[in-house]
Chains A and B, each alone.
Chain A
Amino acid sequence: MSRVLLHPLVWTAIVFAVLPFVAGANPFTGTGGFVDIATQMLIFALFASGFNLLLGHVGELSFGHAMFFAIGAYVTALDVKGYSFDLFGHTWTHVADNNMLVALVLALVAVLVLSVLLGRLIIPRSSGVYYSMITLAFAQVVFFIAFTWSDLTGGEDGLQSIPRPVMPGFDPAFFHDALHFYTFTAVVVFIGLALVYWLTVSPFGSVLHAIRENKVRARFLGYDVNKFRVNAFVLSALFPAVAGWLWTYFQQAINPDASSVGYSGNIVMMSMLGGVQTFFGPILGSIVYWELQNNISQLTKYWEAWIGAVFVVFVLLSPRGIMGVIENVRTRGIGRTTR
Chain B
Amino acid sequence: MLALTLSQLTDQLVNGITLGMLYILVALGLNVILGLMGVINFSHGAFFMIGAYLMYQFAPMVGFWPAIGIAALLVGVLGMVFESALIRPLYRRIPEYTLLLTFGTALIFAQLVRWKWGDDAVRVATPDYLANPITIAGVDFPVYRDIFLVAVTVVVLTLVWLLINKTNVGIIIRAGTRDAEMVKILGIDMPLMFTLVFGIGSLMAGLAGALAAPIYAIQPNLASQWIVLTFVIVIVGGIGSFWGAIAGGLLIGILSSFMSLLWPPAVDLTGYVLMGVILLIRPRGLFGVEGVFE
Contact = CB atoms under 8 A, between A and B. Distances in A.
Interface of A: 61, 63, 121-122, 125-126, 128-130, 132-134, 136-138, 140-141, 144, 148, 260-262, 265, 268-269, 272, 302, 304-305, 307-309, 311-312, 315-316, 319, 339
B231 interface: yes
* Chain A interface mostly: helix
A304 B111 contact: yes
A272 B99 CA distance: 13
Q: Which of A137, A268, A304 has most B Cβ within 10 Å?
A: A137
Nearest to B234: A133
B272 interface: yes
A129 B34 CA distance: 11
B283 A126 contact: yes
A308 B104 contact: yes
A134 B108 contact: no
A144 B268 contact: yes
Contact of B105 (A61, A128, A130, A312): A312
A145 to B, nearest CB: 8
Given A137-B275, A141-B269, A307-B107, A129 B115 contact: no
Contacts of B86: 312, 316
Given A136-B228, A311-B104, A312-B104, 20 more contacts: A63-B103, A121-B276, A128-B94, A130-B235, A130-B239, A137-B232, A137-B272, A141-B269, A141-B272, A260-B224, A261-B227, A262-B224, A269-B104, A302-B112, A308-B111, A311-B107, A312-B86, A312-B108, A315-B97, A315-B101
A269 B108 CA distance: 14
Given A130-B235, A316-B86, A265 B279 contact: no
Nearest to A149: B265
Contact of A129 (B40, B101, B105, B269): B40
A43 B40 CA distance: 31
B107 A268 contact: no
Contacts of B234: 133
A133 B235 contact: yes
B270 to A, nearest CB: 11
Contact of A121 (B89, B104, B227, B280): B280
Contact of A302 (B89, B104, B115, B275): B115
A133 B227 CA distance: 10
A48 B99 CA distance: 18
Contacts of B96: 61, 128-129, 132
Contacts of B100: 61, 268, 272, 311, 315
B114 A302 contact: yes
Interface string B257-294: 00000000100110010011001100100000000000
B95 A128 contact: yes
B204 interface: no
Contacts of B275: 134, 137
Interface string B221-241: 000100110011011000100
Contacts of B97: 315, 319
Contacts of A307: 107
B104 A137 contact: no
A140 B279 contact: no
B110 interface: yes
B283 A316 contact: no
A316 B108 contact: no
Given A61-B99, A129-B96, A302-B115, A136 B231 contact: yes
24 contacts: A122-B279, A126-B279, A132-B96, A132-B99, A137-B228, A137-B231, A140-B228, A140-B272, A141-B272, A144-B272, A260-B224, A261-B224, A261-B227, A268-B103, A302-B115, A304-B111, A305-B108, A305-B110, A305-B112, A309-B108, A311-B103, A315-B90, A319-B93, A339-B93
Contacts of A129: 40, 95-96, 99
Contacts of B89: 316
A148 B272 CA distance: 15
Nearest to A262: B224
B228 A309 contact: no
A30 to B, nearest CB: 28
Interface string B78-96: 0000000010011001111
B132 to A, nearest CB: 34
A168 B103 CA distance: 45
Contacts of A272: 100
A133 B231 CA distance: 6
A130 B30 CA distance: 13
A33 to B, nearest CB: 29
Contact of A138 (B101, B110, B114, B272): B272
A269 B147 CA distance: 44
Interface in B200-251: 224, 227-228, 231-232, 234-235, 239
